[in-house]
A and B are shown apart, each in its own frame.
Chain A
Amino acid sequence: MTPQRAGISFREFAICMMAIVNREALRFVGQRSRFLSSLVRPMVWLIVFAAGFRAALGLSIQEPYDTYITYETYIVPGLIGMVQLFNGMQSSLGLVYDREMGSMRLLLTSPMPRWWLLFSKLLAGTAISIVQVYAFLALAALFDIRFSPLGYLAILPVLVLSGLMLGALGLMLSSTIDQLENFAGIMNFVIFPMFFLSTALYPLWKMAEASPILRDICALNPFSHAVEAIRFALHLDINWASLGWTGMAFAVFFAISLIGYDPAKGSMVRKAR
């Protein structure tokens, strides 16, 4: 349902969202190095890491695959997730910057409901992450790592959901960060554990071989579910459980973010003191 509030028309809601998306897009266009690094990072993993894994002999068959696959094929959904994870965190970094520079105050004084402002911000970040994902997939195709043409289309709705979820995670974290410098902490304590303790690089059965606890952590990690949802979609299959988990994680992260950004309750109050 389209949001509606007394005194604010649908058109105004749309204008507000477009403005936020435009601003985010402009910022992204201005940051060429960000785009470049968003491509280089997964490509390095794909080419260097996958090559070192001796995966040419194939990975054991597991859902959703019907036959043996190379390791390169296996990690692509995980790297797509990585692109979105980094982008989600970078968008949140942008919010911290906005807050420090004062432009956030301007945004938050808008008459639009706060959840709409934050949701628009998330959607803008997700759109940018999707551009990065397709650029990465195009580059991977040049290296002969290809998928079924319909698979590229099928991942789009999943990418919207996973992008929103990872963006909401960033939003939630940004509401607790006071300064830009703390982003390094996010890298160490959020991005890396989330990425490594997931099904992005190794399948669950491989993790179970190492340790059952590791396996359980991986299975609980919402990033794993985002990656699996992308993996299934890329293979023209649907993993309802993973989609459900990703959707639920989005709802929780977004709800906490709303509290965090509520001037009456969350950390904003704490910061104001």
Chain B
Amino acid sequence: MLGNITKTVQLAAVLFAGPAFADEIWVSNEKDDTVSVIDIETMTVSRTIEVGERPRGITFSKDHKVVYVCASDSDAVQVIDPQTGEILHDLPSGEDPEQFVLHPDNRRLYIANEDDAITTVVDTQTRRVIEQIDVGVEPEGMAVSPDGKIAITTSETTNMAHWIDTQTEKLFANTLVDQRPRHAEFTHDGSELWVSAEIGGTITVFDVATQSEKTKIGFEVKGVHPDRVQPVGFEMTKDGRYVFVALGPSNHIAVVDQKTYEVIDYLLVGRRVWHMAFNGDESLLFTTNGVSGDVTVIDVAKMEPVKTIKVGRFPWGAAFRPTP
């Protein structure tokens, strides 16, 4: 009898101790200098981790053993142990790192340095800068193709997508997009590059093979002034069906058909939606709502916002971490 009780207590200790036994969404809070960790099962914030100043871009290593955070005002990319929340070390990132992307080799980190108009390539293992590439003014959006051959930087003021050959770390093409490009993503098959333009209010779709413009997608939210419809972050589903686009101060997420480029629906979320992350099976989407300081959870199958979770002040980036 006593043995049973002891076992139960031990089991309970195992279940309730330790930080994480469920899938998580990690959210960087720009104003609080923290990262909020959302437990997907309970849909609550289970941990809040102190990080450097003005954290924005956030991404996990491919094996999810470390998490990288762009601490923009600390001029560093911080490497954090997701299990303990401890900051392991900083990477040399160049000034004002805003967004970054991890190369499929799980080693090279491509970082946009907003103030210096350069893209810094850092080796996460040797912790050294491999290359600094001159790009347009105020680089922000970063993407890397699924095969790892091309990296993209978008520059907010030059209004361009800069195409970088990752073998030589040199620019090989520059393509114009609409005003203030914020975010770039390759489709999962690598055939297209999508770039959002915040002021232009559009997404430009490029054919990767020719770097030529294929089409442009516009947005229109009923009852909202067009000036407020500002596409920023977006995510594509792996099945190639949908693209979810954050429309900034219009407080909506647009759902776009990846094949026809038609906007299927607009979903109401919190104020000034920035970026988002899917859970593991892409059944849920978590959007960071900057001004309202919360994260809205969207049921992807139903195309319906189901819950909004309070996080820190001005949440910006989001990343998924599977159960360790």
Binding site for B on A (CB under 8 A): 51, 54-58, 60-61, 66-70
The listed residue (B252, B268, B292) touching A69 by CB distance below 8 A is B268
| Residue with the highest number of chain B CB atoms closer than 10 Å, among A51, A54, A58, A61 | A58
A66 touches B223 (CB 8 A): no
B223 touches A67 (CB 8 A): no
Chain A residues within an 8 Å CB radius of B292: 60, 68
In the bound assembly, the distance between CA atoms of A68 and B297 in angstroms comes to 11
In the complex, B296 has a CB within 8 A of chain A: yes
What is the minimal beta-carbon distance from B201 to any residue of chain A, in angstroms?
16
In the bound assembly, the distance between CA atoms of A61 and B195 in angstroms comes to 32
**A54 and B223 contact, Cβ closer than 8 Å, known pairs A67-B296, A68-B251, A68-B268:** yes
The listed residue (A56, A61, A68) touching B223 by CB distance below 8 A is A56
In the bound assembly, the distance between CA atoms of A69 and B270 in angstroms comes to 10
**Residue of B with least CB distance to A71:** B223
Question: What are 11 sample pairs from A and B whose C-beta atoms fall under 8 A apart?
Answer: A54-B223, A55-B223, A56-B251, A58-B269, A67-B269, A67-B296, A67-B307, A68-B268, A68-B269, A68-B305, A69-B268
In the bound assembly, the distance between CA atoms of A67 and B308 in angstroms comes to 5
**Residue of A with least CB distance to B308:** A67
What is the minimal beta-carbon distance from A225 to any residue of chain B, in angstroms?
26
B223 touches A51 (CB 8 A): yes
Chain B residues within an 8 Å CB radius of A56: 221-224, 250-252, 268
**Residue of B with least CB distance to A60:** B292
In the bound assembly, the distance between CA atoms of A57 and B222 in angstroms comes to 10
**A68 and B250 contact, Cβ closer than 8 Å, known pairs A51-B223, A55-B223, A56-B221:** no
In the complex, B173 has a CB within 8 A of chain A: no
A61 touches B308 (CB 8 A): yes
B306 touches A57 (CB 8 A): no
In the bound assembly, the distance between CA atoms of A58 and B253 in angstroms comes to 13
Chain A residues within an 8 Å CB radius of B224: 56-57
In the bound assembly, the distance between CA atoms of A58 and B271 in angstroms comes to 8
Chain A residues within an 8 Å CB radius of B223: 51, 54-56
B296 touches A57 (CB 8 A): no
B296 touches A68 (CB 8 A): yes
The listed residue (B251, B297, B308) touching A57 by CB distance below 8 A is B251
**A67 and B305 contact, Cβ closer than 8 Å, known pairs A57-B251, A58-B268, A58-B270:** yes
What is the minimal beta-carbon distance from A260 to any residue of chain B, in angstroms?
47
A sample of 5 more A-B contacts (CB under 8 A), given A60-B292, A67-B296, A67-B306, is A55-B223, A56-B224, A57-B251, A57-B271, A67-B308
Chain A residues within an 8 Å CB radius of B297: 67
Chain A residues within an 8 Å CB radius of B252: 56
In the bound assembly, the distance between CA atoms of A57 and B289 in angstroms comes to 13
In the bound assembly, the distance between CA atoms of A69 and B228 in angstroms comes to 18
In the bound assembly, the distance between CA atoms of A224 and B124 in angstroms comes to 60
B308 touches A66 (CB 8 A): yes
Chain A residues within an 8 Å CB radius of B307: 66-67
**Residue of B with least CB distance to A70:** B268
In the bound assembly, the distance between CA atoms of A60 and B221 in angstroms comes to 19
**Residue of A with least CB distance to B307:** A66
In the bound assembly, the distance between CA atoms of A118 and B307 in angstroms comes to 45
A68 touches B308 (CB 8 A): yes
**Residue of A with least CB distance to B270:** A68
In the bound assembly, the distance between CA atoms of A66 and B222 in angstroms comes to 23
In the bound assembly, the distance between CA atoms of A57 and B227 in angstroms comes to 13
In the bound assembly, the distance between CA atoms of A100 and B240 in angstroms comes to 71
